[in-house]
Structure formats: structure tokens, C-alpha cells
Amino acid sequence: MQDYHEFLADILIPKEILQKRVMELGVQISQDYAGKEPILICILRGGVMFLTDLMRSISIPHSIEFMAVSSYGSGRRESSGSVRITLDLGVNIESRHVILVEDIIDSGRTISSVLELLSARHPDTLRVCTLLDKAERREVEVPIAYRGFTIPDRFVFGYGLDIDEFYRNLPFIGVVDLARYNLGTEPVNDEVD
Ligand code: IMP
Ligand code: MG
């Protein structure tokens, strides 16, 4: 794998700023859901790092669940929006307070399909918490209850977000210079994450 320094255009959100904002979101969720025992649902795999940091800042009782979805006919860097569940939840969410935890909302297609699938299971409440919002790319309107940062239309990586499945481990959000990124490898799978 290429050393990320070779294609890092700039660091969009440094580690310290990320950590501070994630903590604020956790505090906000703790206040809003006091007495409610929400369930945080993370869409694999991009949201994992955000989820684990977020939970550390949530002081009220809550549980976590994971799901994975695939996007039909997706391009390499974008989703088609028509999703299929490849890993379903292990619990029934009927009458639960659900918070969907996402790494990034781009066109909004993935999350709106997931919201549709989950609302058919009749949770008591269903809200979206996203770390990043690429707002100017939105094609489908998505109600966002918790938003870490609104970012420009650039391809970003790190802190859970991948480029062709790698670099998720980096503690910051970086911008890819696509001209300097080696485009020789194919994506590992068609999952949207
Ligand atoms: P949407 O359906 O267009 O909103 O796509 C959302 C999904 O696209 C996210 O869950 C990510 O997997 C992926 N994605 C969108 N933008 C980026 C990016 O800048 N970096 C990494 N993944 C991205
Ligand atoms: Mg991805």
C-alpha cells in the first residue's frame, strides 16, 4: 500500500479537533436521551472509529449494534443508493430509541435507504448522527440530528474512512490528492461503508 504522505493534500480535521467535537456530540446525546437507553447502530465499516469514541463520551446507558449494506451498481467512489443488507442487526428495534451512526453523508442515498429499512421495523424514534456532512453533494434530503462537521466536496480518508479499504486507522481526516493516489488497485468489495 502506498504511503499516505504521497497523496495527502492536506489535513482537513486534525485529531484534537475531531476528539473535541466527538466528545461534544456524546454529551449532547447523553442530555437528549436521558432516561431512554438508546441503541446506537453503526453502519460497517466506516463508522466504527467514530462510534467507539462517541460511546466513551455518552454517559447514559446505551447499547450498540452493527449492520452492513451493499450498494447495487455503485461506482468506485460513489454509491447508487439502492441498498441491500449484508449484515443485519442482532436485535429487534421495535419501540427502541435508535441513533444511526455514520461516518459521512455524501449524496444521502445510502442513509436514506437505511432509514427506510429501519423505520419499517417501527422504532420509537430514529435519528441520524453523522461525523461528516458533505452537504453540497446531497441528492436526497436526509434529516440529520447530530452532525460533527460540514465538509467541502473533497474525497477524504482516515478516522474510519477508507480509500479502497485502507487508511481507516489514521487519527485525523485527510484530503486525498487523487492525481497523486495510485489508482492501480480494485476495490475489495461493493459494500458501502
Ligand atoms: P452516499 O450514499 O452518497 O451518502 O455515500 C455514503 C458513503 O460513501 C459513505 O458511507 C462512505 O462509505 C462513502 N464516501 C462518501 N464520501 C467519501 C469520502 O470522501 N471518503 C471516503 N468514503 C466516502
Ligand atoms: Mg467507504
Q: Whose CA is nearest to atom 15 of ligand 1?
A: 106
Q: Give yes or no for residue 86 having a pLDDT over 90.
A: yes
Q: Give yes or no for residue 192 having a pLDDT over 80.
A: no
- The model's pLDDT over 108-156, given as tens digits with 9 standing for 90+, comes to 999 999 999 999 999 999 999 999 999 999 999 999 999 999 999 999 9
- The model's pLDDT over 44-73, given as tens digits with 9 standing for 90+, comes to 999 999 999 999 999 999 999 999 998 765
Closest CA to 103 of 170, 3, 187, 38: 170
Pocket residues for ligand 1 (CB within 6 Å)?
46, 78-79, 81, 103-111, 134, 155-157, 161, 192-193
Q: Per DSSP, what are the bridge partners of residue 132? A: 104, 149
Map residue 1 onto helix, strand or coil.
coil
High-pLDDT (> 70) share of the chain, %: 90
Question: From the CB of residue 26, how many other CB atoms can be counted at a distance below 10 Å?
Answer: 20
CA angle in degrees (0–180, nearest 5) for 105-154-48: 45
Q: What is the per-residue burial (b if ≥16 Cβ within 10 Å, else e) of 145-173? A: ebbbbebeeebbbbbbbbbbeebbebebb
Instruction: For residue 193, give the ligand 1 atom closest to its CA.
Output: 12
Closest CA to 29 of 1, 57, 50: 57
**Which ligand sits nearest to residue 176's alpha carbon?**
1
Q: What is the pTM of this model?
A: 0.92
